[in-house]
Structure 1
């Protein structure tokens, strides 16, 4: 099966005006997601980037209904799952899985790896219905270990006996146990050494090609995002500010925030043209976001209009989308 994206108009998963709010303090509202809309086609890898606290992980959890969004819609393979009852959502969970950042916390330290990886196979019925036999589970576990590059002897060991990279391979194996179509990877290499990061990213890419997987890959490392992504969505303060093909976004950023993220990389992903200076100051509070463009308090090219008029995410001539009154390219 090819890993190339299907450019048909029907996305595998789509979010429309997705919002997630939390009540904090004395009647205050924290806007973790503030009107996010995007879609991901089958076979595509959407890189989701932005500073810590911008809402990337919250978006991933809302898309998989691990948390219930406050407003908006999530549609998976044509089915609106936003308010779907758990009994009807459960069969769909086989098709969408998550890999978490903390590989150790995601594994029960008191259980053997074989039990942990086999758990989804025991909880969910076999494709034809009914329980899987022990022989079927054992055969599937052997396949999964081979897929992620671990020996079968690993199944008899405990999580603490493995390195961080090996534990992440185990988490990937468990996510793949039910042959999902969509995997949300939430900062899966952030806690690993650089050399190990490259190995895990290569594993994700190989699995995509072998299994035809679709990824939403959450990361803050632009080099990793460039290596694995076909498209990139840039988030700031709970909203998407730029969305487009990876090469265009990372080589010719349209939004000043994207350009500033790239400029902050010690060895920038992009070398063409002049980039704004690296970001200064802190991200404003999502409890009280600034009026107008939410980035204007840190923007190096801010103008008067930006302080009062919120820019909508609009399509530029080159096909990407940017929420900026004065995009750096494409006008």
Structure 2
């Protein structure tokens, strides 16, 4: 039986910075603070939904979680083992247990290779299976994700977007991973196809005892699939808690604004739910604002918010928030 209280992945004050420009340019080298001081625990068997506006660092964090990016600060712990500074050779045995599904299935599949070969590739690299055994495993994987046996001989361009994403999922689960990071896996798909992929992911999680980190900017989808939700703004997590609680009683002003934009059928006694409109744009990660990073757009910001950066703290049992003045609902 899966122990949902057992951490499988932890980040401790994790940060990722990128240097851009050159010393010969007018502005010299500048630093992009893509992910900053993120501490997150993913427990075995659950789905952690990571949400936020475009450009808030979700995809960068996803690539850090599977060590596709080197980490600038903090620690990344996988099943109690610090993998922050491991070399590519040291990471290789972990690759089969830690997989990723990318946002754009067209860009993540080599157009010059048949999809059967693409799904078989991790099996050739990480296992000692014979060619016949690999072929049987690929056929089994195609059946698991709802593709036909003769699809193995086709090229990616011969599939629809939803089918290509099924191929990407088949490749990700080929080695029976423990954790799959899903970087906006349905955002490039039609609404009806999104529902099919979400249902497929739920079925696979139950059959294969998978743990998910599900990244999206569509909060309706995240609410449907997530056990817990972490809300991200400008590289940092500002709120975290059980999915239904965060949706019902968001504590951070940014979470409130995001959730107010989600279409609902229910109405409040006075009519439709009030929409919170944020003013201004997301500040540049090249020059994050002092104090709370959200304060230039926050409708309830006070002087303290402009000078002192709030730390993530316990707000209620199972709930965390990084705000000096969280909303008590």
Structure-1-length-normalised TM-score: 0.93
Q: After superposition, where does 1:266-277 map in structure 2 within 5 Å?
A: 267-268=263-264, 277=276
Structure 1 residues 181-215: Cα deviation after superposition (integer angstroms, max 9, x where no partner): 10000010001000000110111111111111000
How far off is 1:271 after superposition? 5.9
Matches of 1:268 and 1:313 in 2, distance apart? 29
- Cα 1:226–1:113 change in 2 (3 A) is same
- Preserved CA contact (<8 Å) 2:4 2:46: no
2:315 counterpart of 1:329? no
Matches of 1:263 and 1:269 in 2, distance apart? 13
**What residue is the counterpart of 2:24 in the other structure?**
none
Matches of 1:319 and 1:133 in 2, distance apart? 47
**What residue is the counterpart of 2:70 in the other structure?**
68
* Other structure's SS at 1:244 match: strand
- Cα 1:201–1:290 change in 2 (3 A) is same
2:207 counterpart of 1:210? yes
Matches of 2:229 and 2:88 in 1, distance apart? 31
2:239 counterpart of 1:242? yes
- Cα 1:272–1:208 change in 2 (3 A) is farther
Match of 2:52 among 35, 50, 53: 50
- Preserved CA contact (<8 Å) 1:14 1:74: yes
Structure 1 residues 269-305: Cα deviation after superposition (integer angstroms, max 9, x where no partner): 9866975622221100111111111101101111222
Moved over 2 A (4+): 5-8, 268-276
Q: After superposition, where does 1:32-181 map in structure 2 within 5 Å?
A: 32-125=34-127, 131-181=128-178
Matches of 1:81 and 1:232 in 2, distance apart? 24
Structure 1 residues 83-106: Cα deviation after superposition (integer angstroms, max 9, x where no partner): 112222101110010000110111
How far off is 1:263 after superposition? 1.6
Q: CA RMSD in A?
A: 1.6
* Other structure's SS at 1:37 match: strand
How far off is 1:250 after superposition? 1.2
Structure 1 residues 224-266: Cα deviation after superposition (integer angstroms, max 9, x where no partner): 000000000000000000011101111110000001011223x
**How many residues matched?**
320
* Other structure's SS at 1:316 match: strand
Structure 1 residues 144-167: Cα deviation after superposition (integer angstroms, max 9, x where no partner): 011101111100111111000000
- Preserved CA contact (<8 Å) 1:186 1:217: yes
Matches of 1:272 and 1:29 in 2, distance apart? 45
How far off is 1:71 after superposition? 1.1
How far off is 1:310 after superposition? 0.9
* Other structure's SS at 1:21 match: strand
Q: After superposition, where does 1:187-226 map in structure 2 within 5 Å?
A: 187-226=184-223
Structure-2-length-normalised TM-score: 0.94
2:226 counterpart of 1:229? yes
2:314 counterpart of 1:315? yes
**What residue is the counterpart of 1:12 in the other structure?**
8
Unpaired stretches in structure 2, ≥5 consecutive residues? 22-27
How far off is 1:63 after superposition? 1.0
- Preserved CA contact (<8 Å) 1:117 1:170: yes
